[in-house]
């Protein structure tokens, strides 16, 4: 694994995803969305994300409407989320489902320490991370879905072949 020093991002998929999420959260914190601003107002919270099997650790700090992110452990995290591995973290974060997080905790794929109510709060905030698709683009997205599915199946097939050939 290597670092991208200017951005302080590791080449690990979880760290890349967290850095992108952090970048989007900084845009939201500087934006004018009233719902986002009300979620960020009067909050002083640090949330730390990490992976057990890699050295990925990144934390988000929310401070009365201001947002910052940094690579590495936080001095004092109000909520720590530790994924079993990077890909589990990527899958759970991109799914964006609180029940999926709870299932992962029960299955031992995720551990959470700290104030559990912050999970609910962060989930509300996370709903704003992915921008809404303009209505005029919806027909194009519907047309692309079958091709996306075929591409996904193709990729999964060749990943399986590569793993088999490499003995992994």
The string of pLDDT tens digits covering residues 98-113 is 888 889 999 999 999 9
Give the C-alpha distances (Å, rounded to integers) separating 17 from 28, 49, 108, 134, 138: 16, 11, 22, 24, 25
Count CB neighbours of 80 within 10 A.
18
Confidence tier at 1 by pLDDT (50, 70, 90): very low
pLDDT at 77 (0 to 100)? 95
Distance CA 21, CA 17 (A): 6
Distance CA 87, CA 139 (A): 31
Contact 40, 62 (CB under 8 A): yes
Report whether pLDDT(125) > 60.
yes
Average pLDDT estimate for 36-56: 92
Distance CA 39, CA 36 (A): 5
Report whether pLDDT(6) > 60.
no
Count CB neighbours of 46 within 10 A.
20
pTM greater than 0.75 (yes/no):
no
Report whether pLDDT(2) > 50.
no
């Amino acid at each position: 694994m290597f670092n991208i020093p200017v951005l302080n991002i590791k080449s690990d998929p979880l760290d890349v995803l967290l850095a992108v999420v952090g970048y989007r959260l900084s845009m939201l914190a500087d934006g004018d969305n009233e719902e986002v601003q009300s979620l960020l107002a009067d909050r002083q919270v640090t949330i730390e994300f990490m992976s057990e099997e890699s050295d990925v650790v990144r934390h988000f700090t929310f401070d009365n409407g201001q947002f910052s992110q940094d690579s590495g452990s936080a001095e004092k995290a109000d909520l720590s989320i530790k994924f079993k591995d990077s890909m589990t973290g990527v899958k759970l974060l991109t799914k964006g489902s609180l029940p999926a997080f709870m299932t992962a905790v029960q299955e031992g794929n995720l551990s959470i320490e700290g104030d559990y109510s912050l999970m609910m709060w962060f989930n509300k905030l996370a709903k704003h991370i992915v921008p809404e698709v303009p209505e005029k683009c919806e027909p194009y997205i519907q047309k692309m879905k079958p091709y996306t599915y075929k591409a996904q199946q193709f990729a999964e097939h060749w990943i399986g072949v590569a793993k088999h050939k490499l003995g992994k």
